Structure 1
């Protein structure tokens, strides 16, 4: 087995090991309340991790055993995986780039409006048919109840940087003018604003602002804060690097075989 194949085998083994934390991160992401309540986005990172796992294993076996046919198959699979990852990254960037957040004077957190996000994300994630199930799922989690254990005073709560999901679903929009009692209990204002979400807020701990558009916007806002894209970018760079070396090994192997065959024919 040539030096290039040795290097390819080692790099694919490293990539094989690197896919394990990708799978672990994917499982962790799937357990988060926002991903856990959306079946469409629950397991993509896990599936990609397993795909990288299998392709890297195939590349390691192909390089280690010096199997030309298996190495060619591996290179085809690797090109497909890299293409899928690039498509996913570009698509994720396009649909999550629009931002529905806006600053609130005197608050450490931001509020969120639904019309700031892409229409594709809105239609496929928080459309009216899906939201009934998502809302019920969020109500069964501890996303909002745990805030009452973390913050006691209004100053503490107002100064903190809430996640988009917490800001959109667990409290009424700031514009409504509700008075803080605790993070999930607010007193109705004397003259409420005309925002539709102001009438959707409920102190019922199973309702809160789960019916609000700000809650839908907060759910979409959580996607922008995910670090999974960074992991995928690093993985794409590593795979491209390994792919280039594997292509070089494959080309060198064919050259060596051609030279050996001509050398053998010369002796005969």
Structure 2
């Protein structure tokens, strides 16, 4: 039983090694494909960094547990402890900043509309930053979300009963309060003599398919609504991953004690 923890730690890290190779391979694939959009360039570096980190940790854990390298195993445990702490902080932060914000139900409509002021101040600052929003807007355009949405060719009655995604509702159409005339999903006619309303998005809206409502406050709110849903899913996955890491850390501590005991035990005994 004395070496059971070492073998178990080696087995767990072998699984992490396979995961690391898969993540790293995905990041390298992203970097070598035709990465012409900001979205692809934004994704590839974090994926490669995560894969490299998991690879280094798994190799250190394997060497420390199976080869009896106490110094290497100690460094592995320190790095693992820091990773656990960072994941705990990120998970708590994700739940806090996504606690506020929800779409507003529109009478007679199947979709919701989103307002930027309903979300946390930290999230609002992220999308109100001009450089950040330029990258996000590029992702929305390159992703052709509104172009696919506008190709449905639905009637007004069909359109108003749709359960639109936050981005479709906020970025691909004007706010309902503007009272524009429906032509198609992404084509709306301003009424004659239209004047500015209390909603600046009504003036921001454009029938230019490259513009639409990408600079609207409602679009930024739609992006945050989508981000909120994604972060909550990630935070939930993080909790499961944290439980796994804590188990690995506990087994690693047992393996470290085994290594120290073996290294300090006199050979003649």
Q: Which residue does the alignment assign to 1:69?
A: 71
Within 5 A, what are the aligned runs for 1:37-186?
44=46, 47-128=49-130, 130-132=132-134, 134-136=136-138, 138-150=140-152, 152-186=154-188
Within 5 A, what are the aligned runs for 1:207-222?
207-222=211-226
TM-score by length of 1: 0.81
Task: Check the 8 A contact 2:38/2:135 in 1, yes or no.
Answer: no
1:204 corresponds, among 204, 208, 211, to 208
1:228 corresponds, among 226, 234, 238, to 234
Offset at residue 201 of structure 1 (A) = 1.3
Task: Check the 8 A contact 2:30/2:40 in 1, yes or no.
Answer: no
SS in 1 for 2:146: coil
Does structure 1 residue 251 correspond to structure 2 residue 257? Answer: yes
Structure 2: runs of 5 or more not aligned: 32-36
SS in 2 for 1:199: helix
Offset at residue 5 of structure 1 (A) = 0.5
What is the alpha-carbon distance in structure 2 between the residues aligned to residue 121 and residue 87 of structure 1? 17
Task: Check the 8 A contact 2:69/2:259 in 1, yes or no.
Answer: no
Does structure 1 residue 3 correspond to structure 2 residue 9? Answer: no
Task: Check the 8 A contact 1:197/1:212 in 2, yes or no.
Answer: yes
Does structure 1 residue 16 correspond to structure 2 residue 17? Answer: yes
What is the alpha-carbon distance in structure 2 between the residues aligned to residue 22 and residue 236 of structure 1? 18
Q: What number of residue pairs does the alignment pair up?
A: 260
Task: Check the 8 A contact 1:37/1:134 in 2, yes or no.
Answer: no
Distance 1:159 1:52, change over 3 A: farther
Does structure 1 residue 187 correspond to structure 2 residue 189? Answer: yes
TM-score by length of 2: 0.81
SS in 1 for 2:126: helix
Distance 1:89 1:150, change over 3 A: farther
SS in 1 for 2:151: helix
Distance 1:35 1:198, change over 3 A: same
Distance 1:13 1:136, change over 3 A: closer
Offset at residue 185 of structure 1 (A) = 1.0
Task: Check the 8 A contact 1:52/1:81 in 2, yes or no.
Answer: no
Distance 1:105 1:210, change over 3 A: same
SS in 2 for 1:53: helix
Structure 1: runs of 5 or more not aligned: none
SS in 2 for 1:144: helix
Offset at residue 141 of structure 1 (A) = 3.8
